[in-house]
Amino acid sequence: MSDSASIMPEHPPVTDWVNDFDHTDPTWTENPFPIWEELRAASPVVHTERFLGCYMPTTYQAVKEIAYDTEHFSSRRVIVRDIRPEITARAPPITSDPPEHKPAKQLLLPPFTPDAMKKLEPRVRAICNELIDEFIADGKCDAAARYTKHVPVRAIAHMLGIPEKDGDLFIKWIHGILELGIKDDNALMEAVREMTGYFAAHLEQRKQNPTDDLISTLMKARDKDGNPLADEHVLGSLRLLLIAGIDTTWSAIGSSLWHLAKTPADRERLVKEPELMPLAVEELLRAYSPVTMAREVMKETTVSGCPVKSGNMVLLSFPAANRDPAMFPDADKVVIDRKENRHAAFGLGIHRCVGSNLARMEMTVAIEEWLKRIPDFRLDPAGKVTWSEGTVRGPRQLPMLFGKTN
C-alpha cells in the first residue's frame, strides 16, 4: 500500500505556462492544445523548474532533433516524474540506448509485423462484438469503461497467452505506473512488483510446459551469441508490452470515438466510405496522439538553437509535434482524408513503437465494428467526459447515447 510519505507535495496551479509548464496540471489534462500553441509561439524549447528541471520541445522539428539524438538524450528514463530514483526495473528496448537497443528491439519486432497482426485480427473483431453485445440493448454506455479499455487488454492477453479475464489486474498496474507513479513512488514500485511476480509465475509454468504464445517466443529467443535471454530481460520486455500495449490504444480508440461522437459529418462519411479508414486512422492518430515520452539530458547541447543542459529531463511530446502548423496545414483541424501525414504518433527514429501495427489494427477494427453496429451516436449531455493525466492522454469516462437525435 502507498503511504503518504512517498507522495510528493501537490503541484501548485500553473499561472505562467511558458516558464513553469506542468503536464499534470488539470488545465493541461482537460485541453492541452491551446497550451501547446502558446508554448510553441514562445520558443521551440521551453523549460520548467518542476520535475527537478525539465525541457519540452514544442515544434515538430525540435521533437525530431531530440528523438534522433541518442548521444545527448538517453531513454533510460521514459516518464517525467517528480523524483528520479535509482534505475532498477528496466524495460528493454524502450529504456535502452545504443548499442544495447537494437538487439533488444530486433527480438520483439517479428511478432508485431502487419502480417502477424492479420492473423490476430479475427480474434480482435470477435472481442469487439462480444463487448458491444453486452451494452447495445441499453441504448447507451460509458464507451471508455465498457469498450475502448477492453479491446487492447484482451488483444494483448491473447497474444501473450495469459488469461483475458486478468485484464482488471493489468489496468490497475498501469494506472499505478503511468498516472499515480508520477507523484507516488510506492504506487509505482508496488505495481511493478506485482506485475513482475505475475509474469515470473507464467515463466515458471512455461519452463515446465512450453506454449505457443509470445511469452514462450521471448523465452526461446537467443541473443547474437546464441544465449537465451536472462529471465530479468524477458520480464522487463513483458512489463513493457503490457504497459505500452494497453492504455495507449485504449486512449487512441477512445479519442477517435469521442471525435466521431461530436462530429457527425466525419462519422457519416466513414459509414458511407469505409475505404477511407486507413487515412482516417492516421489522421485520428495525428490529431489525438495519446503518447508523450521522455528523455534524460546526458550532455549539454542545443536543440533548434536553444541551449539544453544536462541533469534535466525532456518531455518529448509527440502529440504537440503533431499539432505544429509548420508541419501540418490546418493542424488543429481533423481532416479525415488528409493525404500527406508524416505524423509522429508512434515516435520517430530508433524507438518507433514496436506495437504500432498492433495499435493500428486494433483501432481500425474497433472503429469499424462500432460503426457497423452503432452508426449513430453522440456524447451523453447528462454525463461528463474525463481525460487521463500525464504520459498517456485519452478519455477515461466517455458517456454515449446511441441512435439519431429527434
Partner 1 sequence: MAGKLKVRVDQDKCQGHARCKSLAPELFDLDEFGNAHEVGDGSVPEGLEDKAYLAQSNCPEIAIEVTEE
Residue 355 beta carbon to partner 1: minimum distance, rounded to whole angstroms: 11
Angle at 394 between CA 393 and CA 399, to 5 degrees: 155
Residue 96 beta carbon to partner 1: minimum distance, rounded to whole angstroms: 15
CA atoms within 13 A on the CB side of 296: 18
Instruction: Specify the residue, 333 or 352, whose C-beta has the smaller distance to partner 1.
Output: 352
Residue 350 beta carbon to partner 1: minimum distance, rounded to whole angstroms: 7
Residue 95 beta carbon to partner 1: minimum distance, rounded to whole angstroms: 18
Q: Quote the distance between the C-alpha of residue 35 and its chain's center.
A: 20
Instruction: Specify the residue, 64 or 183, whose C-beta has the smaller distance to partner 1.
Output: 64
Residue 391 beta carbon to partner 1: minimum distance, rounded to whole angstroms: 21
Instruction: Specify the residue, 257 or 354, whose C-beta has the smaller distance to partner 1.
Output: 354
Residue 195 beta carbon to partner 1: minimum distance, rounded to whole angstroms: 26
- Contacts with partner 1, residue ranges (CB under 8 A): 106, 109-110, 112-115, 278, 282, 339-344, 346, 348-350, 352, 356-357
Residue 250 beta carbon to partner 1: minimum distance, rounded to whole angstroms: 21
Instruction: Specify the residue, 176 or 347, whose C-beta has the smaller distance to partner 1.
Output: 347
Instruction: Specify the residue, 16 or 115, whose C-beta has the smaller distance to partner 1.
Output: 115
Using CA atoms, how far apart are residues 342 and 355, in angstroms rounded to an integer?
A: 18
Instruction: Specify the residue, 73 or 147, whose C-beta has the smaller distance to partner 1.
Output: 73
Residue 363 beta carbon to partner 1: minimum distance, rounded to whole angstroms: 13
406: which residues sit within 8 A by CB, 6+ positions away? Answer: none
DSSP-assigned letters across all residues of 153-172: HHHHHHHHTS-GGGHHHHHH
Q: Please list, residue by residue across 134-173, b when 16 or more beta carbons sit within 10 angstroms of its beta carbon and e when fewer do.
A: ebeeeebbbbbebbbbbbbbbbbbbbbbbeeeebebbbeb
What does the longest C-alpha to C-alpha distance in the chain come to? 68
Instruction: Specify the residue, 217 or 356, whose C-beta has the smaller distance to partner 1.
Output: 356
R_g (Cα) of the chain, nearest Å: 21
Using CA atoms, how far apart are residues 300 and 203, in angstroms rounded to an integer?
A: 42
Residue 25 beta carbon to partner 1: minimum distance, rounded to whole angstroms: 29
Instruction: Specify the residue, 224 or 404, whose C-beta has the smaller distance to partner 1.
Output: 224
Q: Residue 147 gets which letter from DSSP?
A: I
DSSP-assigned letters across all residues of 72-123: TEE-S--S--S--PPP----TTTT--TTTHHHHHHHHSGGGSHHHHHHHHHH
DSSP-assigned letters across all residues of 189-250: HHHHHHHHHHHHHHHHHHHHS--SSHHHHHHH-B-TTSPBPPHHHHHHHHHHHHHHHSHHHH
198: which residues sit within 8 A by CB, 6+ positions away? Answer: 166, 169
Instruction: Specify the residue, 114 or 139, whose C-beta has the smaller distance to partner 1.
Output: 114
Residue 233 beta carbon to partner 1: minimum distance, rounded to whole angstroms: 18
Instruction: Specify the residue, 259 or 343, whose C-beta has the smaller distance to partner 1.
Output: 343
Using CA atoms, how far apart are residues 223 and 229, in angstroms rounded to an integer?
A: 7
Residue 273 beta carbon to partner 1: minimum distance, rounded to whole angstroms: 17
User: Is the Cβ–Cβ distance between 316 and 294 less than 8 Å?
Assistant: yes
DSSP-assigned letters across all residues of 132-143: HHHHGGGTEEEH
- Grid cell at residue 245: 500495449
> To which H or E segment does residue 284 belong?
helix 277-287
Instruction: Give the pairing of strands 292-297 and 73-74.
Output: antiparallel
Instruction: Specify the residue, 27 or 106, whose C-beta has the smaller distance to partner 1.
Output: 106
